[in-house]
Amino acid sequence: MGQALKVDAATWEGAVLKTKGLIMVDFWAAWCRPCLMIAPTIEELATEYAGRLTVAKLNTDENPDVASRYQIMGIPTLIFFRDGKPVEKIVGAASKQQFKEKIDSLLAVS
């Protein structure tokens, strides 16, 4: 397993809002170069944190209603949800180490 889960408006509630534990959602678009740059890192994190963190990806062009609900103004934006509630946000591309530091700090308080 360990691959990022593709979510959309139809699966959002069940896959993100009704899931227990920590979920990292990558809001991205196919035309977004920074999104494409971090995509391999997001997949690596999905594998490395399998069983402790769910990693999901939502295409903002295909799901503008979900993106607007969370006030996504720039992409990539990563929102961390705990038990269906947003708890942290990272806007813009970041290094794998920066993502890991955020994930580790959130896992430490779960």
What is the DSSP secondary structure assignment for residue 101, as one 8-state letter? Answer: H
Closest CA to 23 of 69, 59, 56, 70: 56
**What backbone torsions phi and psi does residue 108 show, to the nearest 5 degrees?**
-65, -25
Q: Is 16 exposed, middle or buried (0-12, 13-18, 19+ CB in 10 A)?
A: buried
Out of 4, 15, 32, 38, pick the active-site residue: 32
Q: How far apart are CA 40 and CA 61, in angstroms?
A: 20
12: annotated active-site residue: no
SS3 (DSSP) at 93: coil
32: annotated active-site residue: yes
Out of 25, 35, 56, 103, pick the active-site residue: 35
Known catalytic residues are: 32, 35
